[in-house]
Amino acid sequence: MAGSSLVLTDGSRLSWYDQRLYRLERLLALLGGLTVFSLMILAVISVSGRNFANHPLPGYVDWIEQAMPLIAFLGVSYVQRDGGHIRMDMLVGALKGRSLYAVEFFTTLVFLGLMLLLLWGSWAHFDRSFDFGQPLWSRDSSMDISLPLWPAKLMAPVAFAVLCLRLCLQLWAYGRALRIGVGHAIAVPQIADAATLAAMEAEHVSANDVKDTAHGTD
Query: Chain-wide mean pLDDT for the chain?
Result: 86
pLDDT of amino acid 207? 62
Average the pLDDT over 37-53 and give the result: 90
- Of the CA atoms within 13 Å of residue 92, those in its CB half-sphere come to 17
Burial class (CB in 10 A: 0-12, 13-18, 19+), 115: buried
Who wins on pLDDT, 177 or 86? 177
Q: Please state, in angstroms and rounded to a whole number, the distance separating the CA atoms of residues 128 and 131.
A: 8
Quickly state the pLDDT bin for 83 (edges 50, 70, 90). confident
Over range 29-48, report the average pLDDT: 93
The pLDDT, as a whole number, for residue 217 is: 57
d(CA 84, CA 81): 8
Amino acid at 106: F
What number of other Cβ atoms are within 10 A of residue 59's Cβ? 18
Nearest to 187 by CA among 30, 6, 25, 3: 6
- Among candidates 54, 163, 68, which has minimal Cα distance to 114? 163
Percent of the chain predicted with pLDDT > 90 = 56
> Is 174 buried (19+), middle (13-18) or exposed (0-12) by CB count in 10 A?
buried
Q: Give residue 2's pLDDT.
A: 37
Residue 181: CB partners within 8 Å, gap ≥ 6?
97, 98
CA distance 12 to 103: 23
Greater pLDDT, 203 or 67 = 67
| 105 — pLDDT class (breaks 50, 70, 90) | very high
The predicted model gives 108-117 an average pLDDT of 97
Give the mean model confidence (pLDDT) for residues 2-8: 61
- Highest mean pLDDT range out of 48-52, 105-109, 214-218? 105-109
The whole-angstrom distance between residue 29's C-alpha and the CA centroid of its chain comes to 6
